[in-house]
């Protein structure tokens, strides 16, 4: 079956990669290092979705008001950049999906609220032959993080295509809002960090339960 889109813009964490274990380890390393209480995997699952700084705002007691917040965030960043490949792996069926889309001549990109360096590193490691463009958080260059449309716009620019016949694929409410702000349809995946009920409450209308189902939309 021929897919109806020419360009596929993917979220990374919870969509292409299962990263929760490494994120939790990095959060807890930073918290432990600074004498703060640690969190469960389920806690961190709830905290993710708005970038790593917001992850730490939610994880640190009193968030940015905590006098140790910046130090804890710096510790998290250093540790995560060194350990982002410890347990992270693609979800089952993702490499095959990307390979099939590439074989059909589709344009493939990743946009993430993860550190720019980590986004680039993970995509190079796991998807070197399929993902053409990977955009992470780098507000210093004037590109706002999701749900602003900036990363999507930048990905399309680097791919050299317009938003016509492009689709956004993600696992969260932030992804739904990003797609809306960028003027793209959104496919919500059900294997990520948020469940169907939560996604429906936030406006999701198109769901896939397994990666290969994307080929039928």
Q: Catalytic residue numbers?
A: 11
Query: pLDDT value at position 77?
Result: 93
Does residue 208 or residue 2 have the better pLDDT?
208
The mean per-residue pLDDT over the stretch 78-82 comes to 93
- Where does the chain have alpha helices with state H? 20-33, 41-47, 52-59, 69-83, 94-103, 116-126, 150-159, 173-182, 196-201
Does residue 86 or residue 3 have the better pLDDT?
86
Query: In the structure encoding, which two tokens stand for residue 193, read together?
Result: 């960090």
- Highest-confidence segment of 47-51, 81-85, 125-129: 125-129
In the sheet that holds 207-208, the strands lie side by side as 133-137, 107-115, 7-10, 166-170, 186-189, 207-208
Query: pLDDT value at position 1?
Result: 43
Express each pLDDT in 149-196 by its tens digit.
Answer: 999 999 999 999 999 999 999 999 999 999 999 999 999 999 999 999
Is 56 in contact with 71 (CB distance < 8 Å)? Answer: no
Of 4, 3, 7, 1, nearest to 167 by C-alpha is 7
The mean per-residue pLDDT over the stretch 73-80 comes to 96
| Strand, coil or helix: 2 | coil
What is the maximal distance between C-alpha atoms in the chain? 56
């Amino acid at each position: 079956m021929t897919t109806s889109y020419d360009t596929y813009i993917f979220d990374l964490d919870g969509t292409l990669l299962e990263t929760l274990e490494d994120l939790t380890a990095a959060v807890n390393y930073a918290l432990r290092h600074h004498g703060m209480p640690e969190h469960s995997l389920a806690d961190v699952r709830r905290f993710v979705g708005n970038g790593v700084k917001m992850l730490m705002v939610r994880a640190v007691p009193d968030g940015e008001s905590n006098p140790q917040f910046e130090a804890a965030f710096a510790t998290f960043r250093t540790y995560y950049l060194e350990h982002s490949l410890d347990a992270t792996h693609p979800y089952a069926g993702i490499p095959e999906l990307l390979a099939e889309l590439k074989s059909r001549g589709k344009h493939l990109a990743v946009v993430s609220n993860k550190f720019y360096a980590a986004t680039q590193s993970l995509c190079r490691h796991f998807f070197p032959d399929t993902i053409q463009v990977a955009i992470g958080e780098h507000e210093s260059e004037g590109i706002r993080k999701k749900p602003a449309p900036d990363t999507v716009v930048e990905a399309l620019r680097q791919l050299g295509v317009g938003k016509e016949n492009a689709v956004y694929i993600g696992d969260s409410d932030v992804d739904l809002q990003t797609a809306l702000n960028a003027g793209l349809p959104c496919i919500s995946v059900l294997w990520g960090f948020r469940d169907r009920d939560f996604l429906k409450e936030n406006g999701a209308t198109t769901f896939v339960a397994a990666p290969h189902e994307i080929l039928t939309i």
